[in-house]
């Protein structure tokens, strides 16, 4: 009986391994490769979109979150078009960017990627970084890696629906409690990684139940249909192997020591009041800890994907940040 059970299990695991290797090969090759794509220092091609001249006095670089892509900033892109240089990109493993495997799926690596995007496509003027969720964590990781950029090359930062502490712990967590929560997070993410090839074949977010779970997690009650469909599409398009790799990274990520570098520039911390993915207290902690030229904006009735559902509030807050960061840039259009 044990042999009868063992053989199908072994076959399933072997099939999963084959699927994983094939998927990894496709991910490594998945990129447009066309200008202005950026090749990172470890050889991954990141899909980049730009609009506006390189000699613009201000460039805004958008960094998206977990299981999303640069297109999540469509409303902000449309609002700022023609007023400054705009840059957005797909994180490694997401959208049309390449992938180099789970070992490189760390917040530190995303911070390095963001820095290389700024170096290659940030133009000749000042830069304002806009990071949502995991993209905001990439901004904080960059602050830890290259703090000298902030106040020099980088003139302002917007941290949207993000946090500096591990996803599995609170901002005040430390010692044994932090280690236990981190370990539990790693175990859960590792289990997902093992089963990722099989989950990919029956992607849970394709189902109605999965869609409803995702909708409740990413949005407040009764979100508009278009943002909900767009978010679901991005999650379905993101391979489960990529998701599981980043979930592990989110369990070990900790940028609380890096927030000091942001005190050199104006900072916008913005979140939806009904965010059930990253609690509002994380945004309050960021705003309090950074201090200085930091503005906290909490959007009533908004969930985690606030940029997609409450673009008017986000756009207005971003414009205020741009004006403060680079006076004369990103102001209201003349009417």
List the CATH number of the domain containing 164. Answer: 3.40.50.1820
Q: How confident is the model at residue 15 (pLDDT cuts 50, 70, 90)?
A: very low
Is the residue at 278 inside a domain? yes
For residue 65 the two structure tokens come to: 């979150």
Is the residue at 25 inside a domain? yes
Is the residue at 335 inside a domain? no
DSSP-derived letter for residue 150 is B
Is the residue at 60 inside a domain? yes
Highest mean pLDDT among 91-100, 162-171, 204-213, 230-239: 91-100
Is the residue at 291 inside a domain? yes
Q: pLDDT tens digits for 234-267?
A: 988 998 889 888 988 888 889 999 999 999 999 9
Check pLDDT > 60 for residue 172: no
Q: What is the mean pLDDT of residues 113-140?
A: 98
Is the residue at 215 inside a domain? yes
pLDDT value at position 214? 79
Is the residue at 333 inside a domain? no
pLDDT value at position 251? 84
Supply the mean pLDDT for the chain: 83
Q: What is the mean pLDDT of residues 307-325?
A: 98
Q: How confident is the model at residue 274 (pLDDT cuts 50, 70, 90)?
A: very high
What's the total number of domains in the chain?
Answer: 1
User: What domain range is 175 assigned to?
Assistant: 2-325
Is the residue at 179 inside a domain? yes
Please name which of 68, 25, 20 lies closest in space to residue 236, comparing C-alpha atoms. 68
Helix segments in 122-269, DSSP class H: 134-145, 175-201, 208-218, 225-237, 240-252
Q: What is the mean pLDDT of residues 42-67?
A: 97
């Amino acid at each position: 009986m044990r042999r009868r059970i063992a053989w199908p299990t072994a076959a399933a695991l072997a099939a999963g391994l084959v699927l994983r290797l094939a998927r990894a090969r496709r991910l490594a090759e998945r990129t447009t490769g066309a200008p202005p794509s950026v090749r990172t220092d470890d050889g991954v091609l990141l899909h980049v979109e730009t609009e506006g001249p390189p000699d613009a006095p201000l460039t805004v670089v958008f960094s998206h979150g977990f299981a999303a892509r640069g297109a999540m900033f469509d409303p902000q892109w449309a609002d700022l078009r023609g007023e400054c240089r705009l840059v957005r990109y797909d994180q490694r493993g997401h959208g049309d960017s390449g992938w180099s495997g789970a070992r490189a799926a760390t917040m530190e690596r995303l911070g390095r990627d963001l820095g290389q995007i700024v170096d290659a496509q940030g133009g000749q003027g000042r830069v304002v970084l806009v990071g949502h969720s995991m993209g905001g964590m990439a901004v904080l990781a960059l602050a830890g890696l290259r703090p000298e950029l902030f106040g020099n090359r980088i003139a302002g930062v917007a941290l949207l629906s993000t946090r500096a502490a591990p996803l599995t712990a609170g901002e005040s967590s430390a010692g044994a409690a932090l280690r236990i929560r981190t370990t539990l997070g790693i175990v859960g993410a590792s289990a997902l990684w093992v089963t990722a090839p099989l989950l990919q074949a029956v992607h849970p977010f394709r189902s109605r139940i999965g869609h409803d779970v995702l909708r409740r997690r990413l949005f407040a009650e009764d979100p508009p249909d278009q943002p909900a469909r767009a978010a679901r599409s991005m999650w379905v398009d993101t391979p489960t192997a990529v998701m599981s790799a980043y979930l592990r990274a989110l369990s070990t990520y900790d940028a609380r020591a890096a927030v000091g570098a942001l005190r050199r520039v104006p900072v916008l911390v913005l979140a939806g009041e009904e965010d059930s993915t990253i609690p509002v207290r994380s945004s309050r902690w960021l705003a309090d800890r950074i201090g200085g030229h930091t503005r906290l904006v909490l959007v009533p009735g908004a969930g985690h994907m606030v940029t997609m559902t409450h673009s008017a509030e986000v756009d207005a807050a971003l414009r205020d940040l741009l004006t403060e960061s680079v006076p004369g840039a990103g102001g209201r259009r003349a009417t």
